[in-house]
Structure 1
Amino acid sequence: MIKLYTDASTKNNPGPSGVGIVISAENRYEQLAIPLDKVMSNHEAEFEALIKGLDYLIDHQLTVETLMVYTDSKLVASAIKKNYVKKDIFKTYLVAITEKLHHFPLFFVQWIPQSQNKGADQLARQALQKILLKN
């Protein structure tokens, strides 16, 4: 089983954002801090965090195992579980995520409190700092 933890950090709202990703599998542990190159809301950044994490797994051919996604975004977790978002702005994200999840034989999405997502949170903050220091 692959565990994917994602989080986002946004300054102001909307504003510059960064995402943090932690990937944990039997013989693998990866940490990614990725600055995002456009201004977005905190919710958009949370969707982007999951997209970046899924892209990494797909690009590194880590799709043969069951995937467990952990996010502290209730919006993202609910959207995937229900395959529905109310606002049009999030529909593109949901479609992209759904397409990427088809690469995995089985996947689960679980909302977790921020206190259980500290690794991804710290990485997201680091990614945001990279953007802020450039400007």
Structure 2
Amino acid sequence: MIKLYTDAATRGNPGPSAAGVLVVTDTEQIQLKFPLGQMSNHEAEFAAALIAFQQLPKYAQPNESIFFFTDSKIVDNSLTTGYAKNFQAYVDQINAIQDQFSLVISQWLPERDNHGAHNLANQALHAM
């Protein structure tokens, strides 16, 4: 089982943005930070999720269960329904990667419970 946490940080809206990804396996925690460039806060959340799933094959096998956590309700709802009015390209790319794994469960969590990914996103934003 892999737990995948993501968050984005944006200075302004739109503005410079960054992503934080925390991958938790049975044996380790992998902390990843990525600059995203100029975008809205919603796009940054989708970009963070996409980057997380793009990194996932490095840490997970196709037969593993993936639990994906985000504090973005729009990302969680869009991945659950498979539809996002303005961000469908992100949803399609993420779903294509999810199809490589036997089980992927998306779960919204409150921002206060997403400290790891939140801190990584802020660190990446401040480093820009």
1:116 aligned partner: 113
Q: Which amino acid is the alignment partner of residue 127 of structure 1?
A: A
Given candidates 91, 94, 97, the residue that maps to 1:97 is 94
Mapped to 2, the partners of 1:6 and 1:63 lie a distance apart of: 19
Note closer, same or farther for the CA distance 1:72–1:86 as it changes in structure 2 (3 Å cut): same
Mapped to 2, the partners of 1:110 and 1:45 lie a distance apart of: 18
Query: Aligned pair 1:68/2:93, yes or no?
Result: no
Show CA shifts across 1:71-92 (max 9, x none).
Answer: 00000000011111123xx011
Mapped to 2, the partners of 1:56 and 1:86 lie a distance apart of: 25
Conservation of the 8 A alpha-carbon contact between 1:63 and 1:105: no
Mapped to 2, the partners of 1:77 and 1:129 lie a distance apart of: 26
Following TM superposition, by how much is the alpha carbon of 1:61 offset from its aligned partner in structure 2, in angstroms? Answer: 5.2
Mapped to 2, the partners of 1:76 and 1:23 lie a distance apart of: 18
Mapped to 2, the partners of 1:51 and 1:11 lie a distance apart of: 20
Runs of 4+ in 1 over 6 A off after TM superposition: none
Query: Aligned pair 1:2/2:2, yes or no?
Result: yes
1:15 aligned partner: 15
Structure 2 unaligned regions, length at least 5: none
Structure 1 unaligned regions, length at least 5: none
Mapped to 2, the partners of 1:73 and 1:61 lie a distance apart of: 23
Task: Give the TM-score normalised by structure 1.
Answer: 0.90
Q: Which amino acid is the alignment partner of residue 74 of structure 1?
A: K
Following TM superposition, by how much is the alpha carbon of 1:55 offset from its aligned partner in structure 2, in angstroms? Answer: 1.0
Q: Which amino acid is the alignment partner of residue 23 of structure 1?
A: V
* Paired residues, number: 127
Show CA shifts across 1:12-49 (max 9, x none).
Answer: 0011101001110101210111111x311101110111
Question: Pairwise CA RMSD of aligned residues?
Answer: 1.0
Identity of aligned residues (%): 42
Greater fraction of residues in strand: 2
